[in-house]
Structure 1
């Protein structure tokens, strides 16, 4: 047997044992999660209750090195019942930043950080004496320090203390986590904090993939998924066509109530369009990824525009269409 990861498994009995144990573990987690769901337990309570029996928990192929039992329980719950845990307080919750800011008027940021440091030190002391961290204390330190940061500390000293505790808690959480995915995420977040990176965006890689690998159809299907609805006029419907001379394909976009519908090779007979653009696909791709600036194209460009009157009005309208596409992540100067 050749698994997705690790070395091949040899021997009929060995293969049978591994596959049977793996199957039984998946079934166990699913059935027990479902059992507690039917008893109206909340996700956190189910996570606390579902544990593999020792015969499975100690199996070398069932170590929580990639995912984790907790994540699997939450995935089963969410897949069947959705995000709502039946607690009315969670039906329309405050955002994390709103909650943190509100709590900071009741519990000072200094108090949050004092409690976070105390829990972090408790875990470190347990590590020195037993060789193990206290995950609950680490988690509480991490949550409190993140809450302090979300509350936007007003003093430089509080901001520095919150940041240091946050980073230390992340690294301690990483060292106590078996899952490589979980450990790497904790470490990545700590590194991002240290380097002042709010969010890692591999824009150049995404841009190259978008430009060179995706098919024409896949490329055109991105527009509805990247449509900036918050900049759309919901009272002004739009309809426009792209005809690509190199493939012969036609793509029709209809915008109504700030929702974009895409039709591929539609029946155009008797249809009205605000704009019809005819060009090679490569040109439109270059425009979208920023290799070609649409307003700099002259009359000799291999692009025919119809619908708004003068060529300049047509170009401005096409530019408006383009501006309604969120190109962050693969565009150099979006």
Structure 2
């Protein structure tokens, strides 16, 4: 790698949701399946009929709540970027009204609710635009303008929401923006609403303590793999059809516009802190380290309304997101909800969130809050109860039966998180991956293990025949396990791949979880068609790049160092950012890269001097090293060849790596 390719080595994946793509062409891989993708097995039909019997589908309360206060929506369902590229289509899910056996009826119900779109009155003075992105944006009327809560993922969708509210309620200035937490769907669209000039003129930006750091840090070091997995979780590669992507449970899908970030002007640091903007008081409950590393909820005394952020939802949330992240503690999560119950429950007339629809009336609000509180606590405590009896991570889900009072509440269903993977996460939180069984202490790698499994089972053809029998009986889970071994033993066995794709499709039709369904359907797609080397649109925008602290760049370089190539090439390099007075020494030693902030080594092989703006231009690929040297924004002291050899050891990982094949 040359110095000119420093940009690709230092790009950090700060997006929460990762790559987004639409319909894609076929590859050279045989795209045939053994059965039509619309085929629905008797087992799927039995499963889905059982769901209809267990849950009360005659209860239309959620539909009444989701429709309440509807004012209007935009005529054009497609939100576009300035170049005409579609960013979000809130009309793409009209097929959900059709009768079909290809969607779990409970998930279909949730998707129908999430697909409702437009401007809604929560109470006189509080309005939400829902269905214009994965999340909601809320407009709270102050004395002279709007306080905007969570401006969606993309500037384009946020601007569309503002256009709608201007159209329906008249134009008012924005007086403040509130970011409830550090996930991209709650701040990314901010530049569709305000800019630096507005802040200079007094517009406040309110966020929880640690917001900026957490908004860029959660995904930097592992961002490439997280983003690839997110393409599975959100179904970004799938068409929106009744036999494919139908939603993700928390919302419908993610927008694909430009993501921005702006620095808060007011940091909320503790529970009980009160902030008044434009005549509206907000009283905060901190909720750090539960659903997000940096998050709060708040109460509005003027409206007797509570913003539950993403701590309380109309779904079981993820205690460990399948895209990958650190485990979230259900005990702490439940405690935050309980704090809301005993602090504000009796004085709250309406509770609204960053996703889904509001709940009105103190009794209904408390019911929702307490059920959600009990849900997370039950999963946490029951997991440890079973673990302390010797039940292991992969055994616990089959013994984790929620009480009917929780399980029959639609707000507690597995639309996004699931009881199964959440219980595993709580085991992992305390015990890690190892279950204590010596057989699992040092197993073979997955390919070698699969080769032995297939050999023991009589060869690939024998496994496929047995899997066909299980498929016909509706025993899809073990059929998937067995066929997965065949694929990892014989990566090019397309007969096994086709049958496994069919199996995943049936599992997708059965599952209540939108994210699980997307995993199954995307896995099936890539088994049939192969992994497509698609271009990745850079939607992160300059704000995310500028917000990354210098020490995080160096941590990123360290995990992108090819350590095997670096062995025997020990050296030190100085790094000086001239306009921010930041400096560091990078030390290459035994195939590892260390950094010492605020220090320089007089014996370093080379010193790289540049401005922060130059660094950002390199990372955004808007300028090369050569361009910046000519402009005087970058200097190299010492041995340029040493610097070149150093950066040659930094490698950008491939994004489109295999998941369902070795």
**Fold agreement, TM-score > 0.5:** yes
Given that residues 563 and 592 in structure 2 are in contact (C-alpha distance below 8 angstroms), is that contact kept between their aligned partners in structure 1? yes
SS in 1 for 2:417: coil
The residue number in structure 2 matching 1:19 is 369
The residue number in structure 2 matching 1:187 is 521
The residue number in structure 2 matching 1:305 is 636
Given that residues 563 and 591 in structure 2 are in contact (C-alpha distance below 8 angstroms), is that contact kept between their aligned partners in structure 1? yes
SS in 2 for 1:306: strand
Q: Which has the higher contact order (CA 8 A, sep 6+)?
A: 2
| Cα RMSD (Å) | 2.7
Structure 2 CA distance for partners of 1:118 and 1:277, relative to 1, 3 Å: same
Q: Distance between the aligned counterparts of 2:393 and 2:523, measured in 1? A: 25
Q: Distance between the aligned counterparts of 2:534 and 2:365, measured in 1? A: 41
Given that residues 173 and 186 in structure 1 are in contact (C-alpha distance below 8 angstroms), is that contact kept between their aligned partners in structure 2? yes
What's the offset of the Cα at 1:204? Answer: 3.8
Structure 1: gaps spanning 5 or more residues: 124-136, 308-313
> Is 1:259 the equivalent of 2:584?
no
Given that residues 203 and 329 in structure 1 are in contact (C-alpha distance below 8 angstroms), is that contact kept between their aligned partners in structure 2? no
Q: Distance between the aligned counterparts of 1:228 and 1:263, measured in 2? A: 20
Structure 2 CA distance for partners of 1:68 and 1:239, relative to 1, 3 Å: same
Structure 2: gaps spanning 5 or more residues: 1-350, 656-662
Given that residues 239 and 274 in structure 1 are in contact (C-alpha distance below 8 angstroms), is that contact kept between their aligned partners in structure 2? yes
- Once the two structures are superposed, the pairs formed by residues 106-125 of structure 1 within 5 Å of their partners are 106=456, 107-123=458-474
Given that residues 542 and 620 in structure 2 are in contact (C-alpha distance below 8 angstroms), is that contact kept between their aligned partners in structure 1? no
Match of 1:150 among 477, 485, 488: 488
The residue number in structure 1 matching 2:401 is 51
The residue number in structure 2 matching 1:319 is 644
What's the offset of the Cα at 1:10? Answer: 1.0
Given that residues 560 and 653 in structure 2 are in contact (C-alpha distance below 8 angstroms), is that contact kept between their aligned partners in structure 1? no
Runs of 4+ in 1 over 6 A off after TM superposition: 296-299
Match of 1:104 among 425, 433, 454: 454
> Is 1:64 the equivalent of 2:414?
yes
Match of 1:276 among 595, 607, 618: 607
What's the offset of the Cα at 1:91? Answer: 0.4
**TM-score normalised over the length of structure 2:** 0.42
Q: How many equivalent residue pairs?
A: 302
Q: Distance between the aligned counterparts of 2:526 and 2:540, measured in 1? A: 22
Q: Distance between the aligned counterparts of 1:191 and 1:305, measured in 2? A: 48
The answer to which structure has the higher strand fraction is 2
Q: Deviations over 1:87-106 (max 9, x none)?
A: 11110111221111122333
Q: Distance between the aligned counterparts of 2:512 and 2:549, measured in 1? A: 42
The answer to which structure has the higher helix fraction is 1
Q: Distance between the aligned counterparts of 1:6 and 1:298, measured in 2? A: 48
Bigger CA radius of gyration: 1
- Once the two structures are superposed, the pairs formed by residues 25-36 of structure 1 within 5 Å of their partners are 25-36=375-386
Q: Distance between the aligned counterparts of 2:543 and 2:469, measured in 1? A: 48
Given that residues 545 and 616 in structure 2 are in contact (C-alpha distance below 8 angstroms), is that contact kept between their aligned partners in structure 1? no
Q: Distance between the aligned counterparts of 1:212 and 1:40, measured in 2? A: 46
Q: Distance between the aligned counterparts of 1:232 and 1:172, measured in 2? A: 47
**TM-score normalised over the length of structure 1:** 0.81
What's the offset of the Cα at 1:306? Answer: 2.7
Q: Distance between the aligned counterparts of 2:507 and 2:384, measured in 1? A: 29
The residue number in structure 1 matching 2:441 is 91
Q: Distance between the aligned counterparts of 1:232 and 1:291, measured in 2? A: 29
